[in-house]
Structure formats: structure tokens, C-alpha cells
Amino acid sequence: MRKLLIPFLLAAAAYAPPEPLTAQVTRADTAQVMYRVAQDLMSRGRTDDAEQLLAIIQRRYADTEFGTLAANVLEGSVSDRQAQSGRTELVAWSTIYGASLGFLIPAALGANDAEPYGLGLLLGGPVGFGVSSSWATHHPVSSGQARAMTFGSWWGTWQALGWQQVLNLGDEERTDCFDTGNGQECFTFHDESEHAPFTAMVLGGLTGLAVGTAIGQARPISSSSALITNFSAMWGTWFGTVLGVLTDRDNFNSFGGTDDHHVLTYSLVGGNLGLLAGAFGAPALGWTTGQAWTVHLAGVAGIVAGFGLDLLMSIEDERGILALPAITSGLALAVAGVSVRPGNSRGSSGGALQMSMVDIADGDISLGIPAPMPTLTPVWSGAGRRLAPGARISLLRVGM
């Protein structure tokens, strides 16, 4: 917007020589001039500058015809941008995921030679890139939809692998009998499948991707809601793992390494409970993506602080080592969650461009760089009264 100040001042100097003013131009005239400037900026591809000017018109001249027009244009522009805001994220993740499938699929098929893996890695990434690019071209993908799709793929991969291990899917049991001299004794052996884990990962990942895509296409998903759901699933997995360790009285040293898979089961169930809590609770929270990251990072800091206390207190018990980080992270999440104001984006702008140097509205005070306001100023000359373009800067604005 600073670039607009010079043309306005030059126009004012050329067409409005210093003469006595007799009246002030109407608000509708000012809004019209600003709207035309925004249209010109939009036609020249300066979308960001145009949107800033439209936002000012919408906020300052909402009661005029051009204030309404600015609001409609701005809403359409923002909607179009949001509709494709997830394209880069989806394509980037799909390229990585495609490369991973290039390795997992030969492993699931039991390939023993290097060639199938090399071919899979060679084709997987480009295929993932091409398919996701084509999809995003024909189906607008918002950041929320992209996160639903990417989260579905890796969450499905993890869940499928975990439940395959817990339920021993694809594994075989065999019974061998031996002659001990006093008769035959039979023993049952559990043979783990070498290919079942990879098959589960492929099927689970593709299923999760399909489910995430279906959900994203069925209803709009905001970027913040998708992020909160992702974080909730992660925190559910963390607390489920801790609870599993604390309740695994017989095998807590194994961390789920025995056949009962106690800890792993708690991790999987906890993650799914967190996923459901986040999916249904995110809209009610009303947090922005920045606020979701704030709460999440507060929890991470709580985990780090908990392990720090473990070192200071010289805790060596396996349960105690995880108990403190679980408590401190839970407290950090609770405090940060309560402290966050839902959807709050107001406050000091830190020098951002705004309508006036000091902007007071709804009890909030914002300080920033005042934006030049184009306006039509009535002036008198030898030919009579005429309107000349000019620029105005506001130092204080109080909104009720």
C-alpha cells in the first residue's frame, strides 16, 4: 500500500492546488474512488495490494454501496485462494507417500531381489506427484482437505501396522510333536509372517487416504480443525502409551515387546480416542491454526520439562520416567488451552498496515502504520467548484 501513497499525493498536487475548501466529499464518493483503485490493482495482478485496499473499504465504508461490493469481491477472492490453499501440501506429501509405496508394495509381495525395489522407488514418487497434481487440478483442495487426506494416509498406515501386530494377522501357528521316549509331546510355535506387516501398511495407508478424501469432499474442513484433529490423535497416542506402560505390571520393561502387546494396544486405542475427540471438538474450540500450534508446542515443552525433572530427581524407575512428563505435558496443554482466546486475531498489530495509527474498537487497541485513504476533495478555482483526487491519513479511529 505504501506504493499507492506517491500516486495519490502527486494527483493531489496536480489537480488540487492549495485553495480554501468549502465542503467535504461524501463517504460514498471516497469508497467509490478506493474501489476503482482496487479494481485497477486487481487487473494488473497486484492481488495482495488490492485485497488490503478492499479490506479497508469493507471495514471503513461498510454502510455504502461500494463497501458492500468490496466485501463481496474480497470474500470471493479469499474463497478462491482458500479453495486451492492445500494443493502444495497435498502434492508434496503424495510425492513422498508414492515413493514409500514404491518400497512397501514389493516388500508386501515378497520380492527378494533389488530390482523391484529400485523400480518402485523410481516410479513411486513421480506417480504420486502426477496423480495428486491431476486431482488438485480437477478438484479444488483447501488446506483442511489436504490435511485430512495426508493425515488419513499416514494414520491408516500406522494403525494397520499396529493392529496387525496386536492381532497377529497373517501370522501362522504350527504344532510340532517330538518323541521324548515316554511318548510324544506336542508344542505349538508362532511363526511371524515376513510380509504381513508390509501388506497391512499398504492397505491401511490407501484405506486411510480414501477415507480422508471422502470426508474432505463430503463437507468443508477448516485448516485449524484438521490441525487440531491431527494434534489430538498424536496426544491421544502419547497418553495412551504412558497409560499402557503404567498399567503393564508384568511386562512393563518390555514396552509392548511381548506377545500380549499391552502397551501397543493402549497406544492405538488412545490415538483413536484422541482422533475422535479432536474431530468432534475442534469446531467448538474455535481456535486458529496459530493457536492450535501454540497449545501443541506448550504440550511439547511440558514433555521436555518432565524429562528434565526426571534427571534432576534422578528417577530410574521405568514408570516414573514417563509419569512426570505425562503430568507436566497434560498441565501445559490445559493451561495453554484455557489461556487461548477462541478465534482471537485482534490486538496490537505490531506496526502492520491499518486504517489509522491508533485504532480502538471493541475494547481492543491496535497500533500500526496508517494507510493512506484516497478521497475526492471539493475545491474552488476560476472555473468553479470541482472534485479533485487526494489522499488522507488518519491518526486516530474509535469504533463502537
| Per-chain mean pLDDT for the chain | 76
pLDDT tens across 343-388, in order? 544 434 444 445 555 555 544 445 455 555 566 666 666 666 666 6
The pLDDT of residue 379 is: 66
At 5, the pLDDT band (50, 70, 90 cuts) reads very low
* Cα-based distances in Å from 318 to 212, 241, 243, 330, 340: 37, 13, 12, 19, 34
The band of 274, judged by pLDDT with boundaries at 50, 70 and 90, is very high
pLDDT (tens digit per residue) in 99-126: 999 999 999 988 888 898 899 989 999 9
d(CA 51, CA 362): 23
How far is the C-alpha of 32 from the C-alpha of 389, rounded, in Å?
12
Is-above-0.95 flag for pTM?
Answer: no
| 3 burial level (CB within 10 Å; 0-12, 13-18, 19+) | exposed
Listed ranges 275-279, 366-370, 387-391; the one with the highest mean pLDDT: 275-279
User: Which range in 23-32, 229-238, 303-312, 370-379 is most confidently predicted, on average pLDDT?
Assistant: 229-238
With a pLDDT cut of 90, the percent of the chain lying above it is: 25
Amino acid 331: pLDDT: 93
* E-assigned strand segments in the chain: 172-179, 184-191, 353-354, 356-361, 364-367, 369-370, 373-381, 384-392, 394-399
327: which residues sit within 8 A by CB, 6+ positions away? 306
Average pLDDT value for residue range 62-83: 67
Q: State the Cα–Cα distance between residues 279 and 221, nearest whole angstrom.
A: 10
pLDDT for 287 beyond 80: yes
- Sheet hosting strand 394-399, strand order edge to edge: 364-367, 356-361, 394-399
Q: How confident is the model at residue 55 (pLDDT cuts 50, 70, 90)?
A: confident
pLDDT band of 22, cuts 50, 70, 90: very low
Pairing of the two strands 184-191 and 172-179: antiparallel
Q: Tell me, what's the pLDDT at 391?
A: 58
| Model pLDDT for residues 126-158, shown as the tens digit of each residue | 999 998 888 888 877 778 888 888 999 999 999
> For residue 300, what are the CA distances in angstroms to 130, 139, 332, 337, 362?
36, 36, 8, 13, 34
Q: Are strands 184-191 and 356-361 parallel, antiparallel or unpaired?
A: unpaired
CA distance 285 to 366: 25
Asked if residue 163 has pLDDT above 80, the reply is yes
